[in-house]
Amino acid sequence: MTDIPLPSELQHAGSRITILTGAGLSAESGLHTFRDRGGIWEKYDLTEVATPEAFARNPAFVLDFYNQRRRANEDVKPNAAHEALAQLEREHDGVVWVVTQNIDPLHEIAGTKNLVHMHGEITKALCAECGHREDWGMADITPQSSCPACGTIGRMRPDVVWFGEMPYRMEEIFDLLAQSDLFISIGTSGTVYPAAGFVEIAREAGAWTLELNLEPSEGVSQFHHAVQGRATQTVPALVE
């Protein structure tokens, strides 16, 4: 690792590294962020598409929003930042974990294996009736879709975490944060909890903390160090 002033004791191969990623990481692959100018929440009211109440009120509208998001994911490719994180994992086998808030599949396509999709995955569907989770690929989910497990029609939804719902694999994430020597947050505005609180947890556990973002995030003052720039430049510079 070069260019970014990591404390020297953290540059050895055994350092445990937890990386939190957000929409900014996939921006240069062509996917919209949420809160930037031109972002998804400029066009849509999040209370109308990203809450369980919205799905209960108007399932067709919510499904259509996510069907469009799924189509936007069809041809996207990982960028240099995804590739660099996969390379970091290969070079530091078993000690690098990526916790992503992103629902796109770009980390896994780039080759990252130690991966937690805390806000779910756009390529999966969840039955709101029985809780069954199904690989759905890029096909639309419609009000006529039926659950492959319980057979109920009209209760399939995207397997993503909406406001008011518990993100996935939280215990595992808290364990990773508690054991981290280095915590790196990349491409996230730091406005959505619990992810926005990870830096504080990692710091309290003794980790050195680094933010890589286009602009200082809401929580930038909590990091030991912050670097502003495009992820496709800052992340490869960190890993090289």
Q: Is 231 in the site for ligand BJW (CB under 6 A)?
A: yes
Of 119, 132, 224, 225, the catalytic one is 119
147 in a known ligand binding site: yes
In the shown chain, the binding pattern of residues 60 to 99 toward ligand BJW, with x for contact by CB under 6 A and - for none, equals: ----------------------------------------
Q: Is 30 in the site for ligand BJW (CB under 6 A)?
A: no
Name the nearest CA neighbour of 215 among 189, 237, 194. Answer: 189
CA dist 61 and 77 (Å) reads: 27
63 Cβ neighbours under 8 A, 6+ residues apart: 140, 141, 142, 143, 157, 158
Name the nearest CA neighbour of 102 among 94, 90, 110. Answer: 110
Q: Which tokens go with 146?
A: 């039926």
Confirm whether 119 is a catalytic residue: yes
Contact range with ligand BJW by CB under 6 A, out of 17-25, 54-62, 85-93, 175-183: 17-25
Neighbours of 33 (CB within 10 A): 20
Task: Output the residue with the shortest Cβ distance to ligand BJW.
Answer: 24
| Beta bridge partner(s), residue 183 | 18, 209
Catalytic residues: 119
**Interface with ligand BJW (CB under 6 A):** 22-24, 27-28, 33-36, 39, 50, 101, 103, 119, 160-167, 170, 187-189, 191-194, 213-215, 217, 230-231
